[in-house]
Amino acid sequence: MTVRPSRVSAPPELPHTWQPVMTRVVLLGLAAVSVAFFGLIAVLGAPDWQRHDRIAIGCSGVVFATVLVVLARPRAKADRTGLTVVNFLRTRRLEWPEILGVHLGAGDPWVLLDLADGDTLAVVAIQPGSGRRQALRAAAELRACVDAYGTARR
């Protein structure tokens, strides 16, 4: 069953960016804590640890922090010409006419876009896990942009 985002009378003022703010704050904070924690362990570790042991532990903190920073990347930025979707590892630029539909199904982890080429693209930046009401509102705003600037009229 698909939950259709409610209609918004007008699209948001552009340029507009959607991103899970609290998720980003938590993940970037954890990344900083990871570097500090593993760095502290590397410096204050057992006296019999060798230099390579300390370096490996410090690098582990950097690796964990890098993963957390990648998880904090998702955002979607709309402007007059289209939408830039930044997911974990990929960025994709879409012109408004390329987007045919905006869907947020019950139980979906994030918004899905139906594209003119028959493909579907996830917009990880708009996710109910960060707040169901905010996700529905953001999906409705995105749909209003598609309706206003794209050729896919409902």
The residue segments making up the domain with residue 138 are 2-19+74-149
Q: Are residues 42 and 99 in the same domain?
A: no
Q: Are residues 52 and 108 in the same domain?
A: no
47: how many CB neighbours lie within 10 A of its CB?
5
- Tens of pLDDT, residue by residue over 66-99, are 999 999 999 999 999 999 999 999 999 999 999 9
Q: Are residues 67 and 78 in the same domain?
A: no
- Tens of pLDDT, residue by residue over 91-139, are 999 999 999 999 998 889 999 999 999 999 999 999 998 788 999 999 9
How many domains are there within the chain? 2
Q: Are residues 29 and 61 in the same domain?
A: yes
Domain annotation covers residue 154 = no
Q: Are residues 104 and 40 in the same domain?
A: no
pLDDT category, 8, cuts 50, 70, 90? low
Closest CA to 35 of 6, 8, 66, 4: 66
Least confident of 23-27, 85-89, 117-121, 149-153: 149-153
Of residues 101 and 6, the one with the higher pLDDT is 101
What is the distance between the terminal CA atoms of the chain, rounded to a whole angstrom? 20
**Mean pLDDT score of the chain:** 91
Asked if the model's pLDDT at residue 154 lies above 50, the reply is: no
Domain annotation covers residue 52 = yes
